[in-house]
Structure 1
Amino acid sequence: MMKPGTLILHVAARYLVPLQLVFSIFLLLRGHDEPGGGFIAGLVASGAFALYLFTFGATVTRDLMRVDPRNLIGVGLIFGMVSIFPALLAGEPLLTAQWWDIPLPGGGYLKMNTPLIFDIGVYFTVFGSVMLMLIALTETEEH
């Protein structure tokens, strides 16, 4: 069921949300080498879902998210905490960046690091926090 609004907004929301989510992943992955990172990427992702929320309502947006925003906040905090342990296990100071080359099929390598793990935690925490606030605000208006 579509809420009252323009057809242009409904069509635009359906096409812009996936593009914004892909852009947020791009910002997340380039964060420590270039401008970007977990915080701004989380804001861009929540902006995508905010567009969907304002277009289709809280119930439809919750169905699209499939995960409760409170769970995203918890997962983000766990990722942030996990990112400190590799340095401690290596006998280095807390939050010292650790890097690993993970071999991929076909001969390539995936460079994994603790700053990326921390940024993923920030991404989930920011995204979950903003969505929790926005959904709570729009649900009070719908009732």
Structure 2
Amino acid sequence: MMKPGTLILHAAARFLVPLQLLFSVFLLLRGHNEPGGGFIAGLVASGAFALYLFTFGAAVTRDLMRVDPRNLIGIGLFFGMISVFPALFNGEPLLTAQWWPIMLPGGTEIKLSTPLIFDIGVYFAVFGSVMLMLIALTEAEEH
């Protein structure tokens, strides 16, 4: 069985995991306009959970995730697939980017887009794939 991490690692993980997850969301949201995007954001998020996994073990990490990594891969593929349909509905070529302005209270406008939907799909697929691999390797070592 894997030994639990040190006291310093426990304290660091509880502080760093939320920060890494926030940074991964930042990378995801800015990715279709600037460097970043779903792939690197998914890697950063899985890095956060890998730190938690190495600190507290596979069972605790599975409880924290609440969703099976295989389901995350499926959700990611679903988002990737639905991002192609808005262009088809508008009579444009497959994967042509579509933008929808949305007004928020206070007069702020944000734009939802198919590249963002695709990036969210990549984020979930990468995160699920890496976590599936890491948890499987950790559980194999624990048994």
TM-score range, shorter chain: over 0.9
CA-CA distance at 1:141 after TM superposition: 1.1
2:135 — aligned with what?
135
- The TM-score, its normalising length taken from structure 1, stands at 0.95
Q: Which amino acid aligns with 1:46?
A: S
- The TM-score, its normalising length taken from structure 2, stands at 0.95
Pairwise CA RMSD of aligned residues? 0.9
Identity %: 85
CA–CA distance in 2 between the matches of 1:33 and 1:105? 24
Report the secondary structure of 2:110's partner residue: strand
Count of residues paired in the alignment: 141
Q: Unpaired segments of 5 or more residues in structure 2?
A: none
CA–CA distance in 1 between the matches of 2:19 and 2:123? 17
**1:34-69 residue CA offsets vs partner (Å, 9 max, x unmatched):** 110000000000000000000100000000101100
Answer yes or no: is the 8 Å Cα contact 2:4–2:57 preserved in 1.
no
CA–CA distance in 2 between the matches of 1:111 and 1:4? 45
1:56 — aligned with what?
56
CA–CA distance in 1 between the matches of 2:99 and 2:136? 39
1:73 — aligned with what?
73
**1:4-32 residue CA offsets vs partner (Å, 9 max, x unmatched):** 33211110001000000000000000102
Answer yes or no: is the 8 Å Cα contact 2:84–2:114 preserved in 1.
yes
Report the secondary structure of 2:100's partner residue: strand
Q: Unpaired segments of 5 or more residues in structure 1?
A: none
CA–CA distance in 2 between the matches of 1:96 and 1:33? 15
**1:93-137 residue CA offsets vs partner (Å, 9 max, x unmatched):** 000000001122233222100000000000000000000000000
2:35 — aligned with what?
35
